[in-house]
């Protein structure tokens, strides 16, 4: 009775910890505008090989812009957001012929809240 209850509780706690870690990792990826694939295989990707991962992603444009693009991609950008922000597509991003997002590489950037320069 009690042993099964404790084992079930431990299993639930283990799953909650795993989901929390996954949510934190993907929140970090959204804030830095990096995909899971780019994060794991940075040095194997042709367009990222020459970029130092410590300096940030060449696709990152700051915390606010990264989260806006993550939560509201240009293709699904509501009209009111376009009016408030002026546009949903930045100077380094445009829409391709099939409606896909096309990014241009920019200088590496780590959003200030996530960089170590605040603590140095």
Q: CA–CA separation, 65 vs 9, rounded Å?
A: 40
The pLDDT tens digits of the residues spanning 30-49 come to 988 888 998 899 889 888 88
With 90 as the cut, is the pLDDT of residue 8 above it?
yes
pLDDT value of residue 93: 60
Residue 66 has pLDDT above 70, yes or no: yes
Contact assessment for residue 29 and residue 39, using Cβ atoms and an 8 Å cutoff: yes
Record the pTM.
0.66
């Amino acid at each position: 009775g009690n042993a099964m209850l404790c084992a079930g509780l431990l299993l639930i706690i283990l799953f909650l910890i795993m989901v929390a870690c996954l949510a934190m990792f993907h929140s970090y990826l959204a804030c830095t505008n990096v995909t899971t694939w780019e994060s794991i295989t940075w040095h194997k990707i042709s367009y990222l090989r020459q970029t130092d991962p410590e300096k940030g992603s060449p696709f990152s444009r700051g915390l606010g812009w990264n989260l806006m693009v993550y939560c509201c991609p240009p293709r699904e950008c509501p009209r009111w957001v376009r009016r408030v922000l002026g546009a949903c597509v930045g100077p380094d991003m445009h829409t391709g012929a099939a409606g896909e997002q096309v990014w241009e590489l920019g200088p590496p950037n780590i959003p200030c809240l996530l960089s170590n320069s605040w603590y140095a």
